């Protein structure tokens, strides 16, 4: 028994350390994500300049002590814009994934538990969504709705929930066969109670893990649409838009696009490392 093993304080401490010590990659990921959060929450403290203030006396300046990431063709401080960009891009990470996560897990649990015709309809939806490249589908929907952040969230939500639903559906079907669910059924609990009180908490784990990874994908997607001109619109300080702003200065002033892109990549790495780390921690030990 666990209580016998952990009889002394020393062994208990060791046991806890063995279970809870996260991998260095997870710590690195968390550090990056926290840094990004700080930039997003307190940009006015981190950023030395106003991100949208034109300064025609300081156009296209190379990185220096005064302007760490240089200035763009309007004399705006690239570092300050990158800092303020965190707010937009983290918002993108959240809003491109929140609805898909909520609706997708709910639908996954329902289709998995009910089965029959509901599962049939869901299967068809999955087939259709899978034969489109995600980006193409989102772009096509944005094309119909018009460019902009709000329509981008809408487009991603229309498609994105399917991935979560697939995960939770599979897990629900597994849980449905388990003994505790049969026991709950024998006790005469209602289907709603069985699904939401018993199966759902057990089936939702892979969706939560995927959520972290998906935030990384969401940031990249949002920035890609921003770059194409279909997401955030200039002069918004969004990393993808900023990379696009600098694309005509790749030879004369490469820092305009290089730094926002680097920070964007860093954010992607951070979220995906946290996702991987959580997957390791939450995966049942075999």
Under the rule (CB under 8 A), what is the footprint of another protein? 124, 127-128, 130-136, 139-140, 142-144, 216, 220, 223-224, 227-230, 240, 243-244, 247, 250-251, 254, 257-258, 261, 264-269, 272-273
Please say which residue, 147 or 235, places its beta carbon nearer to another protein: 147
List, in sequence order, every residue forming a beta bridge with 77; answer none if it has no partner. 71
State the residue for tokens 């498609």: 159
Could you tell me the smallest distance in angstroms from the CB atom of residue 200 to another protein? 28
Alpha-carbon gap, residue 155 to 51, rounded angstroms: 29
Strand partners, 40: none
Least gap, CB of 281 to another protein (angstroms)? 18
CA–CA gap between residue 61 and residue 216 (Å, rounded): 31
Instruction: Kindly tell me which of 26 and 204 has the beta carbon lying closer to another protein.
Output: 26
- Sequence-distant (6+) residues with CB within 8 A of 256 are 60, 70, 72, 73, 78, 242, 245, 246, 249
Shortest distance (Å) from residue 167 CB to another protein: 16
CB of 92 to another protein, least distance (A): 13
Pick the closer one to another protein by CB: 168 or 241: 241
Nearer to another protein, 69 or 227 (CB): 227
Measured CA to CA, the distance from residue 96 to residue 163 in angstroms comes to 13
In the block, residue with structure tokens 């609706």: 103
Closest approach of another protein to the CB of residue 129, in Å: 10
Of 111 and 216, which CB lies nearer to another protein in the complex structure? 216
Q: Which residues are registered as beta bridge partners of 71?
A: 77
């Amino acid at each position: 028994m666990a209580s016998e093993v952990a009889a002394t304080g020393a062994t208990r401490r060791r046991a806890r350390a063995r279970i809870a010590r996260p991998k260095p990659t997870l710590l690195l990921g968390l550090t990056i994500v926290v840094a990004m959060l700080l930039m997003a929450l307190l940009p006015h403290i981190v950023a030395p300049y106003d991100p949208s203030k034109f300064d025609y006396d300081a156009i296209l300046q190379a990185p220096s002590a005064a302007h760490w990431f240089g200035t763009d063709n309007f004399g705006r401080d690239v570092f300050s814009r990158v800092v303020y960009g965190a707010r937009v891009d983290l918002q993108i990470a959240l809003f491109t994934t929140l609805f898909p996560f909520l609706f997708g897990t709910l639908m996954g649990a329902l289709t998995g538990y009910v089965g029959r015709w509901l599962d049939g309809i869901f299967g068809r939806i999955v087939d259709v969504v899978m034969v489109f490249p995600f980006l193409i589908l989102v772009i096509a929907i944005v094309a119909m709705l018009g460019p902009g952040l709000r329509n981008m969230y809408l487009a991603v939500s229309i498609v994105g929930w399917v991935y979560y639903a697939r995960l939770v559906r599979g897990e629900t079907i597994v849980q449905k066969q388990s003994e505790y669910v049969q026991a709950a059924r024998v006790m005469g609990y209602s289907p709603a109670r069985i699904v939401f009180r018993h199966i759902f908490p057990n089936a939702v784990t892979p969706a939560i893990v995927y959520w972290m990874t998906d935030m990384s994908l969401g940031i990249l997607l949002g920035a890609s649409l921003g770059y194409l001109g279909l997401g955030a619109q200039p002069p918004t300080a969004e990393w993808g838009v900023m990379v696009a702003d600098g694309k005509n200065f790749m030879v004369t002033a490469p820092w305009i696009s290089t730094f926002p892109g680097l920070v964007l990549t860093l954010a992607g790495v951070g979220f995906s490392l946290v996702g991987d780390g959580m997957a390791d921690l939450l995966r049942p030990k075999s």
